[in-house]
Amino acid sequence: MIAVGNIESLPVRSDLVGLKPYGAPHLNVPVQLNVNENAYPLPDVVVDSMRTAVDDHFAGLNRYPDREFTALREHLVTYLNGVNERAGDTVELDPSMIWAANGSNEVLSHIVQAFGGPGRTVLGFTPSYSMHPLITTGTGAEWQHVERKDDFTLDADTVAAEVARANPDIVFLCTPNNPTGTSIGLDVIEAAYDNCSGIVIVDEAYAEFSRPAKSSAMTLLEGRPRLVVSRTMSKAFACAGLRLGYAIAAPELIDVLRLVRLPYHLSEITQVLACTALEHAEVLLGNVDRLIDSRNRMSAHLAEAGFTVHDSDSNFVLFGNIASPADLWQKLLDRGVLIRDIGIANHARVNAGTEEETEAFLSAIDEILAGSP
Ligand code: PMP
């Protein structure tokens, strides 16, 4: 990883001095279970469609892409209306309620640029996704956090009280939460919304992995113009390399994001590939159940082996009762398995792999517990 060294010699903003960049190690090892990707490659049928779809767009690359990503918005609406309908929810979205950017990191960054910034405060419930504070401080806003209980759950009363106390300009809620896997009920989101006058961001990056399927915060959008839901194609959709995240909110909120995005931020190729992926939503999401099986297998095995395992609604598992997470991380790496030491004392996180990867991880764990170096 490239470190940020000796930046004091540069006229860098004082509020950035001492911060650490996003730091998941990018190592080329056989079993990579550290950044919550979808372990399965794209099926041939999707790859073939993508190839054909981009082919028609090469000659037109002399032109800027559609700044309003009109076709992509429509594809996202079709997908999301289907999701809500299958969940029995009556919410009806339209393209004016959709935003998209290069990964949900960029979506979140647009929202915080527009509603955070110098002199403003952003509240989160930690441990949660490490980019929420980094995106916040990047805009010059102040990050405040409330520690979750020992079991990492969050209830409506706690959230209501903390949000009312802090009265932040933005609240981050993440469900299922990274790195703990914990889901929250819609009542927790309502509690946050009702107790501040700021923007409530619900980061639902892992929503498609919840079983049974939970109603999305999208179902609360009616009459809540300060609520915004963020999602991604990086996880369940198996398109992390594509870089496509999106948000759903009232048209007024979406409109504001136009003020902070860079012109033509979504390339023609990104838009075409994302539309093609959405046309194949069912195929791409076809491995979600297999990943959930792997996750459940990991949880059961780790619990049996004596680790504390936190209930997960996503494609990863947080497990504790580890004497030294750094030592476990290294021993697994020595066996070709990369997991994540997320900096929570005595805990580590592993994401569900293919059946073979899951087997490799669990065998490596057994070997380490049996005392081999
Ligand atoms: N939100 C959460 C909770 C995440 O875990 C991640 C990725 N690890 C993201 C957002 C960002 O994902 P992407 O930019 O790939 O959409």
pLDDT tens digit sequence for 90-105:
889 999 999 999 999 9
Q: Could you give the angle at the alpha carbon of 229 between the alpha carbons of 223 and 231, nearest 5°? A: 155
Closest residue (by CA) to atom 12 of ligand 1?
A: 104
Q: Could you give the angle at the alpha carbon of 60 between the alpha carbons of 55 and 63, nearest 5°? A: 145
Closest residue (by CA) to atom 5 of ligand 1?
A: 178
Q: What is the pLDDT of residue 283?
A: 96
| Mean pLDDT estimate for the chain | 95
Q: What is the pLDDT of residue 3?
A: 55
Q: What is the pLDDT of residue 18?
A: 85
Specify the pairing of strand 142-147 against strand 170-174. unpaired
Residues of the chain with pLDDT under 70: 1-6
Query: Ligand 1 atom closest to Cα of 104?
Result: 16
Closest residue (by CA) to atom 6 of ligand 1?
A: 205
Q: How far is CA 224 from CA 192, 199, 227, 243, 343, in A?
A: 12, 10, 6, 28, 35
Please give the domain boundaries of the chain with CATH numbers for all domains.
7-42+286-369 (3.90.1150.10), 44-282 (3.40.640.10)
* Buried/exposed 170-197: b ≥16 CB within 10 Å, e otherwise: bbbbbbbbbbbbbbbebebbbbbbebbe
Compute the distance from residue 371 Cα to the ligand 1 centre, in Å.
Answer: 35
- pTM of the entire predicted model: 0.96
Would you report the helix, strand and coil content of the chain in percent, each value rounded to 5? Answer: 45, 15, 45
Q: What is the pLDDT of residue 373?
A: 74
Q: How far is CA 23 from CA 3, 131, 231, in A?
A: 9, 10, 22
Instruction: For residue 291, give every residue at least 6 positions away whose Cβ sits within 8 Å of its Cβ, in sequence order, or none.
Output: 38, 39, 40, 209, 315, 352
Locus of tokens 């399965």: 40
Q: What is the pLDDT of residue 1?
A: 45
What tens digit of pLDDT does each residue of 116-135 get? 999 999 999 999 999 999 99
Which of 102, 131, 246, 340 for mutating ligand 1's site (highest number of atoms within 8 Å of CB)?
A: 131
Q: What is the pLDDT of residue 211?
A: 85
Compute the distance from residue 205 Cα to the ligand 1 centre, in Å.
Answer: 6
Which ipTM did the prediction report? Answer: 0.99
